[in-house]
Amino acid sequence: MFKRILFSLFTGMLFGILLASAPDAQAQEGPCFGYCKEQTLKDGCVSYFAGCELRYDENGMFDGFTCFYVNTCVTKPNIT
């Protein structure tokens, strides 16, 4: 009985350590592994990072990326 309790305790601690050390998909360093900027400034409008797409070829090698941003400025229509 004592051996079962110790074994259960040991396996529970091991499982907890492995679960805590597992990498989280959302906790990567920077937007899309550092390929995209947090924000951009273009024509006086600030755009904030909204997501990205990483592309891989048929062999699983990195092929490219596309960054997506949300714009905070309202574009003014050109009235002539």
With respect to residue 78, please indicate whether it lies within any of the assigned structural domains. Answer: no
Report DSSP letters for the chain, one per residue.
Answer: -HHHHHHHHHHHHHHHHHHHHSPPTT--SSGGGGTS-SEEEETTEEEEEEEEEEEE-TTS-EEEEEEEEEE-SPPPP---
Number of domains observed in the structure of the chain: 1
With respect to residue 30, please indicate whether it lies within any of the assigned structural domains. Answer: yes
With respect to residue 50, please indicate whether it lies within any of the assigned structural domains. Answer: yes
Q: Could you report the per-residue pLDDT of 32-65, keeping only the tens digit for each?
A: 778 888 888 887 788 888 888 888 889 888 888 8
Cα(44)–Cα(59) distance, rounded to whole angstroms? 41
With respect to residue 36, please indicate whether it lies within any of the assigned structural domains. Answer: yes
Q: Could you report the per-residue pLDDT of 65-80, keeping only the tens digit for each?
A: 898 888 877 666 666 5
With respect to residue 32, please indicate whether it lies within any of the assigned structural domains. Answer: yes
Name the residue range of residue 16's domain: 2-71
With respect to residue 27, please indicate whether it lies within any of the assigned structural domains. Answer: yes
